[in-house]
Structure 1
Amino acid sequence: MKRLLFFLLIGSSTSVYAQRNFTIEETVFGPNKFAPTTLYGLQWTKKNDILTHLDASYQKLIARQAKDNWTEKEIANITDLTNALRHALPQDTFELRMFPFSYDWVDDNTLAFELTTDKGVHLVEYNIADKKATVIKSYPNNIPNIEKQKHYAYSINNNILIVTESGEKIEVTKDTVDGIVNGSDYVHRQEFGIKKGMWWSPDNQKLLYYRKDESMVTKYPLPQWDSRVATTQYIRYPMAGMKSEEVSLVVFDISSRKHITLKTGEPKEQYLTSVTWDPNSEHIYVGVLNRGQDHLKLNKYNAKTGEFVKTLFEEKSDTWVEPQHDLIFVPNTPNQFLYQTDKDGFNQLYLYDTEGKLIRHLGYKDVIVTNFKGFNSNYTKAYYIGASNKGLERHLYEVELKSGKTKQLTTIHGVHNASISPSGNFVVDQFSNLNTPNIVQIINTKKGTSKELLRVHNPFEGKINLPKIEFKELLSPDGKTPLNARITYPTNFDPSKKYPVMVYLYGGSHAQMITDRWLGGIGYFDLYMAQNGYIVFTLDNRGSDARGRDFTRVTHRQLGENEMADQLVGINFLKSLPYVDKDRMGIFGWSYGGFMATSMMTKHNETFKAGVAGGPVMDWKYYEVMYGERYMDTPQENPEGYEKTSLLNKADRLRGNLLIIHGAQDPVVVQQHSMQFIEQCIKQGVQVDYFLYPTHEHNVRGKDRVHMYQKIANYFDLHLKK
């Protein structure tokens, strides 16, 4: 017994000793290194309730069916697929190391995927029954901004070229004026959910595209340091209150070779969003949003003439209207579509007809639609992932189009990514929560039962000292709004000791730092700092994402004010904890978070001994039109708000030690922000630290990010460690 106890103790000691903290490199590369395993390529086949995915070696395609109790069955493998591809592409050179992760089922025997070879990009269909591959289409390699259908179109040198199915090349545009851009998805600086710059009509005969005229927009210089004599690269950057770009939508008809510009009206400085073809290729729907971003019209246009047909409906607000999604037509009902808006408080689905009549609101409680997942096989039901439980969770919901009756299909707390089988009888559900790395399961929607396909254990166990993470709920200063917070304790936490604090924050719109997913959504640098003796704290203030319209709109015309008020609630909570050293508190944020960190260091300068602000907005009048004017209006319309939120006139209030980091090539928050603040600090006799990454844009990426995190950690250690 003594020998057994001795070996048990040795084994236990060795196990504990084997665990370690993250290296600084793992703050950047750790998410891939320690990612929980999962099932890749999860897809339902086209008609039957057959689930497919790759095996653990990525060499086989697996199928599962209810009749077999969802047991694995190999239906294809990389060897057979490679042989079929070599037969279909005898002149091409390629190396297939794993079965394609991204594929779609054409029918229950045929899958489609793209293969890149030395000769081009090929759309391939592979029949798993006869093990034959067929090349459906081919495209040249490295084509920018390509839009594929029966024909394909792409933009090059700000112009558009079409290659027809027969191989004919058509020059759609031939603009040579600097500032005229055709077919680019970088329109309105990709606000308003814009992800594309070209759209093929459903009948493949017309190409709709953005034409952007930014020739009147101010050119902004970005110094380049890669030559002996530095050069200058210019970008078009419309600052708040200044001249903005003018955008139009143009239809090109392949048959007639005619260009038709949609008559979207005046003024030219407006935003064209939610661009959608109707299923019959006869009309185009466009959300026309005024520059003030408080009045949206969903307009219908004739695709042949470009004429305005009618306004289906309008949205107005005393703050802002923010369209983010294209229309979704019901596949078997071409005169009905789904529209997403938060006009009633939460982003939800609304069923309209093409004359603008609201048929039905399909919203459910305060659930916010975050990801539309499609329809069932007879298009009577729609599915979506929705944010619930004060934004912490994501679940799959089913809504009947005819009645609006809604059913929540996933129930275990956490963040779910799920999809429905063709019959609607089964859901494949992949989810995690704070303490669960990953579970993949099949849910029977009729019986309410489930079967696990994969349960992943903690990938850090026995390897890494994982700090303890807890969720907290605090109350906003308005006395009624709950705020989600996350606290991460140092490893080997001792409540009788006092610890330094790093507050990590973002605080701006369209971002959420805390969700009930694995590790609570925390970043590896936060874990690294906790392992090195810091309490790390994050709070999602009002203005952040997934909490609804009213939660967001409180920031209007005064960015940073209510956000700071909420952050102070979190800071006061920290100060109330006996193990927090109130004299050793630091704050770190990037972009909007850099603005927030600097705001806290100046406006509430008694709190933090050290701060790091990365890529920070220092004055909103230097920020771009589309984002800035949505929240602040123009400097001419809101001079008091710009004065109040500017940090340039508050440099004299800076206390403590502030490190500002910026990318010299930043086209989002241009370096002028931090340079202006540095200049004000010099004039006021205030010391501040500054570090520049000469070749990086808004984010520092790759191995240089390791350098950045080491610098930040060193800065906090220098000023906060005893």
Structure 2
Amino acid sequence: MIKNCMILLAFVFISQSLTAQKNITVEDIYRGEFRTQGLQSLASLNNGTEYLVLNYNRDRTQTIDKYSYKTGEKVATLVNSADINLPIRDYILSDDEKQMMIISESNQIFRRSSYDKVHILNLETNKLTSLSDDLVRSPSFSPDGTKVAYVFENNLYYKDLASGAVIQATDDGVTNALINGVTDWVYEEEFAFVKAYEWSPNSEQIAFISFDESEVPEFSMDVYGNELYQKPYVFKYPKAGEKNAVVALHLFTLATGSRKEVSMGRNEEFYIARIKYSPNGKLAAQLLNRHQNVLNFFYVNPDGKASVAFTETDAAYVDVTDDLTFLEDGSFLWTSEKDNWRHIYLYDANGKEKRQITSGNWDVTSYYGYDTKSKRIYYQSTEDGSINRGIYSISLKAKKKKKLSSQIGTNRASFSKNFTYYINTYSSATTPPVYTLNNAKDGEKVREIKNNNDLKLKLNDYQVAQKEFSTININGNDLNMWTMKPNDFDPNKEYPLFMTQYSGPGSQSVANSWYGANDFWYSMLANEGYVVVCVDGRGTGYKGADFKKITQKELGKYEVEDQIAAAKKLGAMNYIDANRLGIWGWSYGGFMSSNCLFKGNETFSMAIAVAPVTNWRFYDSIYTERYMTTPQENASGYDENSPINHVDKLKGKFLLIHGSADDNVHVQNTMRMVEALVQANKQFDWAIYPDKNHGIYGGNTRVHLYNKMTNFIKENL
């Protein structure tokens, strides 16, 4: 039964009749009419009281300007693009803040990677030099600021800034065969990092990972462009159960120019998910087995000797994070779900657990850092409820916890280097983002930096549907849910139901935060006569590891059962037309919406799937096997829950959409699904967006896409 006590989150509008307001259009949304104002990316300086911002000026110049945290006033301009005769796309500051990398050109490769043109600016002498004549990858200063390492053509290099000498650390890199110092496609996408090397604290060694992908199968896709002939794009992509790159950890010693492979003592296949140096010069390496349910935390000495400090295991999988923080004595902070909730732990320098810092039936959702002066840890958590986020601090002794955020909703923090201040970003379903400067000690607001009150005023001219947050009991679980109804909702009428979801492992779609572009689309649909609902079913995040990991080895089973059951329960309500139930999703959500329409053919009458996985055998090894193991081990788990194997059940209306240049979820998924539907003699609609990747955007693409989906909904639901 749906809980009666809903938290109704309502917009406060200037008094106007609904007839004076206009409904939102797709063009309004995806051409940026409701875009929020944000803060430009800032870099905190070592003094903790000032920060840098890259500003784009009206005269088409770029400046890197210094500001005071306390006043918000500009203190100085460090660099002006007009003075150095280079555009400034991004910058990286050395640890001692005496030198700066200027990135003047950046060409994207995949989601997180790029080829960059880099110059080095000495901030003391104003001397500007080119790092390389070539576009390079993942440049970084040595800790002492005297050198810069980078990757070019799959080999690792470094440049001595004093002499100008360039030293090539590796020479065996080959495109689509062996990579040194940056990650392959699947690591970049699923372990979320690109720079696969680290400087030692004394700047005397570089630890790096190599990827031998010579036996990894290749995937190719055509890029059509504007030429007479299309061009094939070929790259290494390990699908579930196929061969991965063979990884190895190496140490390069600058003084001798020698390279040594570190023996990890492992005979079975493994992933190197993270590397990071401790202050004492030891390298910490996190190794996962291929199933990703055993994580070994290795220490590697400068001489290359490796040993396991501790091991973490899980019946399902161990999540990898960037939360590892070393303290001055070599002890470290670590987050883990080993008590069913993600919490912070303190380990000694040898890898022995000393104490659990945070505890309770809630998750630490972001770890912000440790202040050595106050000996306090700063973090974000779900202590205000799983759909909310609050900011907290706690002592290293797990005492004197303080709540720093004051408003219920979504709070995010960005701390100054010495933890004097933090910038809090607050939003909720009724409040667009507000940026404030706060004291880290007690959370007290120093000043408001920016708000989005102009957007709130603009929205007074539009019909904006409210989000009603509640829970719905499905299959014995109280699932988080939001509902949007037409502003002129009449409980005595019947409305079609349109469900949205993502449902992927650990994800969250029901959150008390400001509207994204899709939320305005849902509002538009609501005010055109639909009840729109989102339910986070089993397998989603922030309700404990057991709730999240119940889908292990059966992706698409419990999540689909929950969506179908929720649709049935909602369809039984007096104001819902049970014969007009639709669902949609993108990526994992498209996998889900396809499954719901096929398996729930007596419940759903319509579905839209955008860029869906249609068979987990087609998706990458790291993501898929984390949850499913391999197809060789778990064939039934793959086949029974992949929608391509249930096309014969299709009864309703189905729209299938994909971008032809999707390097992530390959258009192969849609093409194979199309063939299966054709052979099952099932009628459906589909669309391919040429040369568009997983995001399907660029130019007028999003407007076209969402108008297509809107028209399909209106015609079929």
Other structure's SS at 1:436 match: coil
User: Among 132, 143, 159, which residue is 2:136 paired with?
Assistant: 143
How far apart in 2 are the matches of 1:607 and 1:43? Answer: 51
Contact 1:381 1:401 in 2 (8 A): yes
Report if the CA contact (8 A) 1:559-1:645 is conserved.
Answer: yes
Letter of the 1:497 counterpart: K
2-side partners of 1:325 and 1:541: how far apart? 27
Q: CA deviation at 1:38?
A: 5.1
| Residue 246 of structure 1, CA deviation | 0.8
Q: 1:391 to 1:245 in 2, by over 3 A?
A: same
* Aligned mate of 2:319, from 312, 315, 322: 322
Aligned-partner residue type, residue 269 of structure 1: E
Structure 1, 53-62 or 606-615: larger mean CA deviation: 53-62
Aligned to 1:295: 294
Is 1:93 paired with 2:71? Answer: no
1:598: how far off? 0.6
Q: 1:163 aligns with which of 134, 159, 163?
A: 159
**Contact 1:348–1:363 (CA under 8 A) maintained in structure 2:** yes
2:291 and 2:442 map into 1 onto residues whose CA distance is 51
The count of corresponding residues between Structure 1 and Structure 2 is: 677
Give the letter aligned to residue 85 of structure 2.
T
Q: CA RMSD in A?
A: 3.5
Is the 1:632–1:638 Cα contact (8 Å) retained in structure 2?
yes
TM-score (norm: length of structure 2): 0.85
2:109 alignment partner in structure 1: none
Structure 1: runs of 5+ lacking an equivalent: 1-10, 66-71, 127-131
| Partner Cα distance (2:644, 2:366) in 1 | 39
Distance 1:357 1:95, change over 3 A: closer
Answer yes or no: is the 8 Å Cα contact 2:148–2:158 preserved in 1. yes
- Residue aligning to 1:464: 462
Task: Please say if residues 118 and 131 of structure 2, whose CA atoms lie closer than 8 Å, have aligned partners that are also in contact.
Answer: yes
Alignment of 1:286-685 (within 5 A): 286-304=285-303, 306-308=304-306, 310-325=307-322, 327-330=324-327, 332-333=328-329, 335-378=330-373, 380-419=375-414, 428-443=423-438, 450=445, 453=448, 456-457=452-453, 458-477=456-475, 479=476, 481-519=477-515, 523-685=519-681
What residue ranges of structure 2 are gaps of 5+ in the alignment?
Answer: 1-13, 106-115
Check conservation: 2:506, 2:548, Cα contact below 8 A.
Answer: no
Identity in percent = 29
Q: How far apart are the structure 1 equivalents of 2:231 and 2:75?
A: 54
| Residue identity opposite 1:146 in structure 2 | P
SS of 2:31's equivalent in the other structure is: helix
Aligned AA (1:298): F
Query: Larger radius of gyration, structure 1 or 2?
Result: 1
- Tell me the residue number matched to 2:3: none
Offset, 1:44: 6.7
Verify the 8 A CA contact 1:53 1:63 in the aligned structure 2.
Answer: no
- The 1:204/1:176 distance shift into structure 2, 3 A limit, reads closer
Does the aligned pair in 2 maintain the 1:328–1:338 contact within 8 Å? Answer: yes
> Which range is displaced more, 464-473 or 585-594?
464-473
Bigger CA drift: 646-655 or 385-394? 385-394
Q: Which whole-Å CA distance do the structure 2 matches of 1:183 and 1:619 have between them?
A: 32
1:718 paired to 2:701 = no
Matched-pair contact (CA < 8 Å) for 2:90–2:103 = no
Out of 353-362 and 653-662, give the one that drifted further.
353-362
Q: Residues 671-697 of structure 1: CA distance to partner in whole angstroms, max 9, x if unpaired?
A: 222222222222222112221122122
Residues of 2 paired with 1:645 and 1:145: CA distance? 39
Q: Secondary structure at the match of 1:255?
A: coil
The 3 A distance-change label for structure 1 pair 121 and 625 is closer
Is the 1:351–1:362 contact (alpha carbons within 8 Å) kept by the matching residues of 2?
Answer: yes
Q: 1:26 to 1:578 in 2, by over 3 A?
A: same
Q: Which residue of 1 aligns with 2:237?
A: 237
The one-letter amino acid of 1:261's match is E
CA distance in 2, matches of 1:295, 1:514: 31
8 Å contact kept, 1:103–1:113: yes
Question: Measured at CA, do residues 237 and 380 of structure 1 come closer, stay the same or move farther in structure 2, by a change above 3 Å?
Answer: same
Deviates most, 508-517 or 570-579: 570-579
Distance 2:512 2:253 in 1: 49
Give the secondary-structure state (helix, strand or coil) at the position aligned to 1:525: helix
Aligned CA distance change for structure 1 residues 533 and 380 (closer, same or farther; 3 Å)? same
Q: Secondary structure at the match of 2:331?
A: strand
C-alpha deviation, 1:40, in angstroms: 4.9
Higher mean alpha-carbon deviation, 49-58 vs 692-701, is at 49-58
Q: Which amino acid aligns with 1:29?
A: R
Q: Are the equivalent residues in 2 in contact too, given 1:393–1:515 (CA < 8 A)? A: yes
Partner of 1:6: none
Change (3 A) 1:613 1:378: same
Query: Residue 530 and residue 186 in structure 1: after superposition, are their counterparts in 2 closer, same or farther (change >3 A)?
Result: farther
Q: Which region of structure 1 is more displaced relative to structure 2, 166-175 or 229-238?
A: 229-238
The 3-state SS of whatever aligns with 2:280 is coil
Q: In the aligned structure 2, how far is the partner of 1:326 from the partner of 1:666?
A: 31
More displaced 10-residue stretch of structure 1: 199-208 or 252-261? 199-208
- Asked if 2 retains the 8 angstrom alpha-carbon contact of 1:434 and 1:520, the reply is no
Deviations 1:46-103 (CA, angstroms, capped at 9, x unpaired): 55767998999999866464xxxxxx473436xxx38x758xx85x32579xxx9989
Among 682, 697, 700, the alignment partner of 1:701 is: 697
SS at 1:25's partner residue? Answer: helix
The worse-fitting range, judged by mean Cα deviation, of 707-716 and 579-588 is: 579-588
Change (3 A) 1:524 1:138: farther
Q: Secondary structure at the match of 2:341?
A: coil
| Structure 1 residues 40 and 459: CA distance shift in structure 2, 3 A | farther
